[in-house]
Amino acid sequence: MNNQISQQPFSQRQLRVGELVKQNIGEIFIRNEAKISSIDSKLVTVTEVRMTPDLKTARVYVIPLGGVDTKETVKILTEYSHLVRKALSKRLDIKFLPKLTFVEDNSFEYAEKIEKIIKKNKDNDEKKRRN
């Protein structure tokens, strides 16, 4: 039963608010409006934002430039999420300002892994055809 709940597609409203939050957090990072001194927020990319159905919580998927120190960046952003949320409150006019949860984005690593497997299989197929 629990798996069925997590498999539900996102509503149009969740997608719209998630995109709005993503764009604004990206601009906050570019302009360093959150004033996080531990990291250079200009080097952090927001790849996706997923909203809960009640729009009160946002999972913000981030990756630092080059994918270096991802866990440390996520840890720092989580620690200073209140500053990001404060900067976000000045930009958004929505009923509930979502609680931000920062998560490392592994989709690029996963895509690269799949790409290597496909290339390896393709090379093996070519070798078999030659023999």
Q: What pLDDT, in 10s, does the model give residues 47-100?
A: 999 999 999 999 999 998 877 788 888 999 999 999 999 999 999 888 889 999
Q: Please report, for the domain that includes residue 42, its CATH number.
A: 3.30.300.20
- Determine contact, residues 51/21, Cβ cutoff 8 Å: yes
Task: State the amino acid at position 73 in one-letter form.
Answer: T
- Determine contact, residues 106/65, Cβ cutoff 8 Å: no
pTM for the full predicted model: 0.77
Domain range enclosing 59: 2-105
pLDDT for residue 2 is more than 90:
no
pLDDT for residue 1 is more than 70:
no
DSSP 25-48: HHHHHHTTTT--SSS-GGGEEEEE
CA atoms of 122 and 93, how far apart (whole Å) = 51
- Determine contact, residues 102/50, Cβ cutoff 8 Å: no
Structural domain total, the chain:
1
